[in-house]
Structure 1
Amino acid sequence: MIIDSLMTRARQSIAKRKHYNRLVAEIDSFTARDLADMRADRSEMLYQIHKQIYG
């Protein structure tokens, strides 16, 4: 039971990290022009995805 719980939490943690890394890579791929067109701030976007995924 304890091992199952640890494995489940590890899988969830890995999935969260994978999702986070994918979103960071996508945000990092935006050029300054892309961000200006979206009226977005890269650091704010990164902060928001971290908050969304990790709480």
Structure 2
Amino acid sequence: MIFNDLVTRARTSIAKRKHYNRLIAEIDSFSSRDLADMRADRSEMLYQIHKQIYG
């Protein structure tokens, strides 16, 4: 029971981290020009992603 919970939490954590890293890589791939065209701020996007995934 406890071991299953631990494994489940570990898998969930790994999945969240994988998703987070994928989104970070996507944001990092945007050039400054791309961000300007979207009227977006890289640091704000990173903050919102972290907030969305980890709460």
TM over 0.5: yes
| Superposition map of 1:19-34 within 5 A | 19-34=19-34
Q: Which residue of 1 aligns with 2:43?
A: 43
Structure 2: give runs of 5+ residues left out of the alignment.
none
RMSD: 0.2
Q: CA deviation at 1:34?
A: 0.2
After superposing on structure 2, the runs of 4+ consecutive aligned residues of structure 1 that deviate more than 2 Å are none
| Equivalent position SS for 1:34 | helix
TM-score, structure 2 as length reference: 1.00
